[in-house]
Amino acid sequence: MCSFEFVKEDPEHLKRSEHICLDVDGTWRIPGCFATVLEKGKTVSEVSSFRQSFLRKTFHKAEPLPLDPPELYSYSGTVSSPRWKDLDPDNFTVVCHILADMSRIPAERLINPSGKAYYQMTFEVILLFGLIEMTAHIAWMDKGVENRSPATIVYDDEPSDRASILIKDFQRFSIAW
């Protein structure tokens, strides 16, 4: 699930302050936000692609770092830029999960303000909207070179339903991590 750094002056953050947690990098964060990758009403061609950056942080280095698969949601409500699912929960629908082999993404060793080491992976999820179906990749930088790996899209519905979501009725898509 995506998270925002907690800003005590932000009224939206204060409403969710009971959910804040201390991240391994020493920042207070609020989970439950969404990163919009395709705005409602945006025209998509068969060569359109969308990228969204993500970080994965943990205290324990593992190969690969533990990672829940991102979910792609469709939003069908009237909120122009939904940042929080709790504002309009009935209008978010899981379309699919994106699975990828993350083992080649380097984990950078960093030190938080308390002096404790943690590991961070930085990568992007790339969605490619084709004529018939959406495909996905993950991308990351290693020694100044972009690397890519294919990802598998696992749909949560029947193929006939999927076609209507992807082709006929593009709403707003968000990736939740």
* Domain contains 102: yes
E strand or H helix at 2: strand 2-5
* Domain contains 22: no
Give residues with Cβ within 8 angstroms of 165, minimum separation 6: 74, 95, 157
- Give the CA radius of gyration of the chain: 17
Cis, bond preceding 64 (omega within 30 deg of 0) = yes
* pLDDT given at position 66: 54
* Domain contains 89: yes
* pLDDT given at position 168: 29
Note down pLDDT in tens along the chain; length 177 residues.
578 889 999 998 999 999 999 999 999 998 877 777 777 777 777 777 888 888 888 888 765 555 667 788 888 888 877 888 888 889 888 888 888 888 888 889 999 999 999 999 999 989 887 767 888 999 999 999 999 999 999 887 654 444 333 332 333 444 444
Give the whole-angstrom CA distance, residue 144 versus residue 101. Answer: 20
* Domain contains 8: no
Give residues with Cβ within 8 angstroms of 65, minimum separation 6: 56, 58, 102, 107, 119, 121
Give residues with Cβ within 8 angstroms of 64, minimum separation 6: 101, 102, 103, 105, 107, 121
* pLDDT given at position 131: 66
* pLDDT given at position 71: 81
* Domain contains 25: no
* Domain contains 111: yes
* Domain contains 26: no
* Domain contains 28: no
* pLDDT given at position 63: 55
The answer to whether 93 and 171 are in contact (CB under 8 A) is no
**For residue 150, what are the domain limits?**
34-176
Number of domains in the chain: 1
Query: Which among 59, 91, 65, 63 is positioned nearest to 78, based on CA atoms?
Result: 91
According to DSSP, the residues that pair with 59 across neighbouring strands are none
